[in-house]
Structure 1
Amino acid sequence: MQMTSSKFLVVMLCQLIVLPFLFCLAEGQGLKVGFYDKTCPNAEAIVKETMDRVMAVAPSLGAPLLRLHFHDCFVRGCEGSVLLNSTRNNQAEKDAFPNLSLRGFQVIDRAKLAVEKACPGVVSCADIVALAARDATVALKGPYWQVETGRRDGRVSMIDEALVNLPSSLDNITTLLQRWHQKGLSRKDLVVLSGGHTIGTSHCNAFTNRLYNFTGKGDTDPSLDSNYIVKLQEKCKADDQTTLVEMDPGSFKTFDKHYYTLVSKRRGLFQSDSALLDDPNTRTYVNHQVHHLKSNFFEDFGVSMVRMGRVQVLTGNAGEIRKVCSMVN
């Protein structure tokens, strides 16, 4: 088949010069909406049915399932490596400190089991993670977006890679932008996807340094509203490892844009939330969501989730379709 001039140009550019990884990846990544239409036509409906049943009784799993997709994509790409268990000879991503609080693995396993019954060996665990994140968001009154599918599952998962690649709640704006740029994601993707903090909870130890010992001198974080500090100190003692705090107080089970109001008032729970005010572009987006009644946040969130879902995917003959999500075939 003759290659079109535009595709030929992309291939030549990818071979000759260093480009952001995703630019080269986009031409041949093999993802598309409806990838399983012929091979497993009910795949997405089966995942949705599983998610609807889970979310009806355990809506608090919505945020963890969204986070699971995020943590998967930032380490080795969206290829399901976060689902793999450690073995006798290897410590997997799942056991890295930032991932110890991840939940929802049993939901992915449940959806995988249901899909396997209908279409054995066809649908990847990585795609189920991406679909579950969307369906969980919708169940919490959030946006719907078309999920591109066609990912295959990776065979490698290493604890050290999670420590190096995952953004931290302690990151400043410079570090955040660097981490996201390394994945081919933009400033807008950063500020939009940070809006996912509108749902869910966090353990106190993810932010107590801001309340008690920010610079090592027993002080508080000046970027955090002083009145909010007092309220958080009432909930979290300095050594608290177990208490959970709502990231978006009052509506942590509803996906909305209220997160940006909190950030604008210097009440974002994490340093990474407050950091969005330290860049003119991300700050402008925050303020836009606060002051405009007709919000484009839901639409933007779907677009950025699709972009994130393309990071370093395995397609075609790469990787495998796992039979069980927690182990390689």
Structure 2
Amino acid sequence: MRKKFATLFSLLTIFAVIAAGCGNANGSQKSGSSNSSSAKQESITAVGSTALQPLVQEAATQYMNNNAGATINVQGGGSGTGLSKVVEGAVQIGNSDVFAEEKDGIDASKIVDHKVAVVGFAPVVNKGVGVKNITKQQLIGIFTGKITNWKEVGGKDQKIVIINRAEGSGTRTEFEKWALDGATTVKAQEQDSSGTVQKIVSETPGAISYLAFSYINDKVQALKVDGVEPTEDNVKTNKWKIWAYEHMYTNGEPKGLTKKFIDYMLSDEVQKNLVPKLGYMSISDMKVERDAKGNVTNK
């Protein structure tokens, strides 16, 4: 009898230990869930330049993966949209390829500039046009409608099809300023997205447009201008003059998640790894500086 009682007691003890273990496991799960849900929820929106968009989007994804509770919405729309929206206070960050001072209707004194990268731009053509090098004057002639056939610049007997970025695009503003000496491009098909421009140029016989280096691949032909190649090394010394800073503007000094994210954009993790990986250049790599008026000085 005593033996049976001892056995029963042992079984009850084992059951109690197992039950306690399950209770602790459930408690741990609830505790973990509670910790996860207690992470501070913050959300910001960055709108504007499509030339800068791939970098900001990838950086935002990395940041959110490492910071529970943070939501960073990244949208395009062009530099003009980014600047106007951040001035209005409709978004926390306005992404732009141009200085705010260069945009009509933008009060630059109300917003704060954060330069996060440098991007080069280049004229690009459909690979079938038969041209790889062009003079600056020929380029101006094409985009102002004075040259209409590729044979006039050494290419095929083929009509030139101009693909423009939309009004308000920072890429267009910078291209007209630095590649066309301020000339306004002829009225032509307009596209809001750099990605769309790349696709159309690659698929349209005789097409020409312009893209940030980060959008140039083997589907299109980037043109040399006056024998100078559109390369990062040439941008760094201003030998290739068609380039711009990539700006992230805030309405006043950034706070909260906005400040944390901009600090992350300027961190080594982004500047030394992500920036070159995606075809941009770090601010620290530049050997020259350029102000809003276009004045260039050595660093």
* TM-score relative to the length of structure 2: 0.25
Bigger Rg over Cα: 2
Larger relative strand fraction: 2
Larger relative helix fraction: 1
